[in-house]
Amino acid sequence: MKKNYIICIGILCGFLSISCNTSSEEINDITTNTVTTNNGLDETIESKVDSLLAIMTIEEKIGQMNQYNGFWDLTGPQPKEGAAAKKYEHLRKGWVGSMLNVRGVKDVKAVQKIAVEESRLGIPLIIGFDVIHGYKTMSPIPLAESASWDMAAIKKSAEVAALEASAAGINWTFAPMIDVSRDARWGRVMEGGGEDPFLGAKIGVARIQGFQGEDLSANNTIAACAKHFAGYGFSEAGKDYNTVDIGTSTLNNIVFPPFIAANKAGVKTFMNSFNVLNGIPATANKMLQRDVLKGDWGFNGFIVSDWGSITEMIAHGYAKDGKSAAEMAANAGSDMDMESYLYVEHLANLVNEGKVEERLIEDSARRILRVKYELGLFENPYKYCDENREKSVIGSKANKEAVLDVAKKSIVLLKNNNKLLPLKKEGQKIALIGALASDKNSPLGSWRIAADDNTAISVLEGMQQYKGNSLVYAKGTDVSIGNTAFVTETKINTKDKSEFGKAIKVAKEADVVVMVLGEIGFQSGEGRSRTKLDLPGVQQELLEEVFKVNSNIVLVLNNGRPLAIPWADAHIPSIVEAWQLGSQSGNAIAQVLYGDYNPSGKLPMSFPRNVGQVPIYYNHKSTGRPTEPAPDIVFWSHYSDQENTPLYAFGHGLSYTNFEYNNLKIKPKNTSANNPKITVSIDITNSGDYEGKEVVQLYIRDLFASVTRPVKELKGFEMISLKPGKTKTVSFELNKETLGFYNNEDQWIVEQGEFEVFVGGSSDKTITSNFELK
C-alpha cells in the first residue's frame, strides 16, 4: 500500500506543509538477524528505528509520545465532535503512540486498524493495561503473592496474567509496582511487595520475567513496567498522592534497589509517579529520569508518565500552565504522556521555540519505537488479536489451577494455639460467620478491571466441598452496602447488628467457629488510604460477641494491607491471614484450613499493634537511646502507651509443623573488606508432625558504618521442604553486593568492621553469630 500524502501540520504548529513518499511495508521489510551492540541493543532493530525516524515528521515523533485512554465504542459509529472525535483524528494523523484501557480482540483490532491502515506511516500502537494481578483469572493481590516468598509461583502468576492479557489484545502491562512501602495506611500497599527492598527486588524481577518471558516478540508475552519512579511508597502519612521528602540514603538504599534490579532484568518500561520528591515532581525530575535511570543505569526502554501526572504539576505549584508542564516533563526525560494531552498540544511549538531540543524528542520516539519493534508489532500489528486464542486461553482450567497454587502459597498462619488448625475433616459441627465468607466479589481485590464481578470462589463454597462435617453459615453483619467499587465510609462501616443474634446462635451450637472478617476488596488500592487499621464496621464487636459463646474460633482475615488486631491476637486461638486471594480464594482457604496445604507464607510487611506505630518496619535504624528502660536512663526510645515491637513481625508465618534452627556456622570469621565472600550455613529440622515448607531467612547488621545502617537487613532467603524428623543444611553466601551500601555520594561501598548475622524463620526469631571485615 503505497502512500503519497501531503501532510498539513498547520493544525499543530503553523503553516508548514511537507510532502512524503513512503510505504509502511518498506519500513518493515528489513531482515531480522539479531546482532547485539555492546550496550545490549539489537542492531537490526536499531537500524530499523533509524530508518523510520528519518522519515518521520516532528509531529509524528511527538505522536509516539502521546498516549490516550480508551474512549468510545470502538466498533460502533464514530463521533463527529468532542474529545473522542479528536482522538480519532489524532490516530489517523499518526499522533498517538499508545492507547490504554482498550481491551478485547475486537476493540484492540479496531483501534490498531486505524493507526496501521489509516495513518501515513502505519506505525502500530502499543496497547497498555493495568494487568496488576491477573487479567480475568485473578491471582492474589500482589502484597498477598509477596507473602509466598516463592519466586517460581510469583513468576508463574505473572505468566498467566500475560497469557490472558495478550490473548485479549494487550501487549503492555503497567506492572509490577515495586514501591517499597512501610505505611499500612497507604491503600496501594496492596499492589506491591511490602517493606523490604531486597525481597521487593526479587519479587519485581520474578514478575517481570513472568510478564516478558524469554521472548518478548512471542504473542503470549507482554512488556512490563516498573513503577512508580520514584518514592511514591513514601507518601507522607500514608495519604495517596501526598508529598515525599526523603534523604539520599533512603532513596539509594531503600527506594532504588527494586528499580535497579528491574532495569537489570530488562524491564522494557518505567512509569514515573504522582508525588513530589524533595520538592520536585517525579514527572519533571531530571535527576531521577535522565541522570540516574537513563544515565547511570543505562536504561534503554521508555518512561511513561503516570495518569495525568504532567498536568498535575500545575496543581503541585511547579508548572504555571500546561505548556510549561510539557516542557519540564519532556526535558526531564518523561517519554510518554499518559492522558495529559499536553505533549500533543505543546511539544511541537516548544521545539520551534527552542525550549525543548529536537534530539530529546527523537530520543523519546526512538525508545518507544524500539519497544514496539521488540514486541514484534511492526511484523504483525495484529499478533495479539486472535479471536480463537482469546476464547481458548482466557479463563482456562490451567490458568485457574495456576492461580489456586499461588493463592494457597500466599496464606500466612499468624497464630495457631492448641493446634485448632488444621480442622478435622469429619464429625465436626462448623459455624462459618462473616459477610466476607460468602462474598464472591471482594476476594478479586482492587485493580481487577477485566475480571467479571462475583466470580471468585467464596470461603463458603470452598468449605462446602469438605462434606465430612456439618457446616452452617451466618453473616453476622454486612461489611458494605451497594456498589463497593466506590467505597465511602458510610457504605463500608455499616453499624447494623440485627444479624448478630443468628451468628451467636450458630456459634453456640458449633464445635469450631470460622470467622471471615476484614476489608472488602475495594477498601485498599489507589486513592483508598485509611487512618484506622482495625476491623471496619461492627466486625470487632461481632467477633467479641461470638467469642463469649464459643472461644474455639479460627479467624480468617481478608484484607489488602496489614491490620491492627491486638484483641484478636490476645483472645483468638487461630488466626489466618488470607488477604484477597483472587478467583480461587475460597478453594485455597479451605485447603489450608483442612490441612490439604500446610501454610508456608511469611509476612512481607510488619503488622502494627495500633495505627499510632505506623510506619513500623523491621529494618529501622537504631536511635541513640535504649529501647528498654535502664537504671540510669530517664528517657528511652519508646511509646509510653504501647510496645515498640509490631504485633506480627516482617517474615513471620507459622506452619502446622515446627522448624528448629541449629548449628549456625560462619566461614571465615575474618576476611578482607575487599571482595569478601562469607558462607553462612544453618541446619533446619522439621520437629513436628507434618511435612512442611519453611522460608529460611538471613539478616545482617553492619554494626558501625560511615552512614548508619539498619538494625537488621534481609540479605538472603530460601524456601525448603522437609518431611517430619528430617534435617537440611542451608547455605548462603554474603559478598560485596550484599555487604555494602550506598553512601551519600551515591557510591556503593563495603566497609571494614564487625557484622552480626541472624538466621531464622522470621525477622524477630533468629539465632545469631558474627564476623569481621578487615
Chain position carrying cell 511539544: 347
φ/ψ of 203, rounded to 5, equals -65, -45
CA distances from 698 to 81, 495, 712, 761 (A): 62, 45, 10, 9
> Which CB sits closer to ligand BGC, 306 or 337?
306
Q: HEC states along 224-239?
A: CEEEEECCHHHCHHHC
Nearest distance in Å: CB 224, ligand BGC: 12
Place of cell 520437629: 687
Smaller CB separation from ligand BGC, 188 or 294: 188
**Reduced 3-state DSSP string for 438-496:** CCCCHHHCCCCCCCCCCCCCCHHHHHHCCCCCEEEEECCCCCCCCCCCCCCHHHHCCCC
Q: Whose CB is nearest to ligand BGC?
A: 174
658: helix, strand or coil: coil
240 forms part of the interface with ligand BGC (CB under 6 A): no
Which residues share a beta bridge with 262? none
Residues in the chain, how many?
774
d(CA 409, CA 693): 10
**Which residues are within 8 A (CB) of 338 and not within 5 positions of it... i.e. 6 or more apart?**
67, 100, 304, 305, 306, 307, 308, 309
In the bound complex, what is the minimum distance in angstroms from residue 244's beta carbon to ligand BGC? Answer: 14
Backbone dihedral region for residue 373 (phi beyond 0: left; psi -120 to 50: alpha; all else: beta): alpha
Count the helix, strand and coil residues of the chain and give each as a percent rounded to the nearest 5.
35, 20, 45
Query: Of residues 151-180, which lie at the interface with ligand BGC (CB under 6 A)?
Result: 174
CB of 547 to ligand BGC, least distance (A): 40
At closest approach, how far in Å is the CB of 527 from ligand BGC?
Answer: 8
Least distance (Å) between residue 175 CB and ligand BGC: 8
Rounded Cα distance between 512 and 550, Å, is 8
Which cell goes with 57? 515528521
Whether 196 is catalytic: no
Residues 386, 526, 534, 569: which binds ligand BGC (CB under 6 A)? 526
Cβ proximity to ligand BGC: between 169 and 518 the closer is 169
- Contact (CB, 8 A) for 337 and 271: no
The number of residues that bind ligand BGC (CB under 6 A) is 6
Instruction: Using DSSP, state whether 243 is helix, strand or coil.
Output: coil
Between 174 and 270, name the residue whose CB sits nearer to ligand BGC: 174
**Among residue numbers 286 through 315, which ones bind ligand BGC (CB under 6 A)?**
306-307
Cβ neighbourhood burial of 541 (10 Å; 0-12, 13-18, 19+)? middle
Pattern 623-662, ligand BGC, x by CB under 6 A: ----------------------------------------
User: Please, which residue, 71 or 174, has the CB nearer to ligand BGC?
Assistant: 174
The residue from 48, 90, 202, 227 that contacts ligand BGC (CB under 6 A) is 227
Alpha-carbon distance of 647 to 574, in angstroms, equals: 15
Whose CA is closest to 270, among 208, 357, 213?
Answer: 208
The residue among 35 and 449 lying less far from ligand BGC, judged by its C-beta, is 449
When the beta carbons of 18 and 449 are compared against ligand BGC, the nearer one is 449
Comparison of 191 and 195: residue with beta carbon closer to ligand BGC: 191
118, 21 contact by CB (below 8 A) = no
Q: List residues bridging with 770 in a β-sheet.
A: 756
Please state the closest distance from residue 451 (CB atom) to ligand BGC, in A: 15
- The Cα 366–Cα 62 span in angstroms is 11
Report the nearest approach of ligand BGC to the CB of residue 748 (Å).
Answer: 29
Q: How far is the CB of 308 from ligand BGC (least distance, A)?
A: 8
Three-state secondary structure call for residue 757: strand
Question: Considering 42, 183, 306, 363, which one is annotated as catalytic?
Answer: 306
* Closer by beta carbon to ligand BGC, 174 or else 618: 174
- Residue 759: beta bridge partners? 698, 767
Q: Rounded to the nearest whole angstrom, what is the least distance from the CB of residue 227 to ligand BGC in the complex?
A: 6
Compare residues 121 and 143 and give the one whose CB is closer to ligand BGC: 143
Do 651 and 640 touch, CB atoms closer than 8 A? no
Options 42, 107, 130, 335; binder of ligand BGC; rule CB under 6 A = 130
Using an 8 Å Cβ cutoff, are 274 and 564 in contact? no
Q: How far is the CB of 191 from ligand BGC (least distance, A)?
A: 8
Residues catalogued as catalytic: 306
Residues in contact with ligand BGC by CB under 6 A are 130, 174, 227, 306-307, 526
